[in-house]
Structure 1
Amino acid sequence: MKGLAIVGLMVMLTGCATNHGAPIDDDLGKITLPNGATYVGDLVNGVPEGYGTLKSAEGTYTGAIQQGKAHGFGKTVSTDGAVYEGEHVMGEFHGRGKLTLSDGSFFIGQMRHNKVSKGTMFLNDGRAVDLR
């Protein structure tokens, strides 16, 4: 599924919590990770906490962060064109949200542990499929 890059992006954000020896500048609120990804936003003791943006080769996440993980409302835009906008729990898509795939089809409903759960999938040919 083309949305897999989004999951990879969330795993990358989770890695911010340990910092992995990346340089920290608390005054600027910016961390550069060894893989070249950057985080700009709120930091507490060098760990992303509050609100910020993570940019990487997989895409961009902007939103709420707790203990270095996406937690609360946020938006992930993947380089393959997939977009997830909704609730996150400790680094996972979990709660209400909208997942739009690069082909234009989209899902609105509940996500559980990075997977589509209950809701409706609107296919790019105009059909709607209820998922229960």
Structure 2
Amino acid sequence: MHVDTAAYHARLPEIQRRLCESLALAIDAQLPGAENKVWHGHPVWFLAGNPIVGYSLQKPGIRLMFWSGADFDEPALNVLGAKFKDASVFFKAWSEVDPETLRRWLDKAARIQWDYKNLVRRKGRLERLPTPEIR
């Protein structure tokens, strides 16, 4: 885990801190090649420079966001906007997280990606990345 992610966790109240630490461990275990850093103030994991999953503290709880989650076909993930392909879910405590569902979402996050890394270069136009053969 990146030192900035650990510092982010340290600033959280205990229940949210434990939730975020558990999420970080699960993400690191499922996506061992992903780069973790604090990006725009929140922990985010990247594959080949492309953001795929992250979380942040918000009023309803910890928002777990998948940048390409709108294409996961997962009813529990809330798709808010039409322009981007993100989807998210809120948790208040680790006890609300189903580990098998989280593993499935993280697997999809590695396989289903839109190219956010080049969004600015493409003037706001998203393109679907090819499904990787090996993670």
Give the structure-1-normalised TM-score: 0.24
Q: Which is richer in strand?
A: 1
Higher helix fraction: Structure 1 or Structure 2?
2
Structure with max Cα Rg = 1
Instruction: Report the TM-score when normalising by structure 2.
Output: 0.24
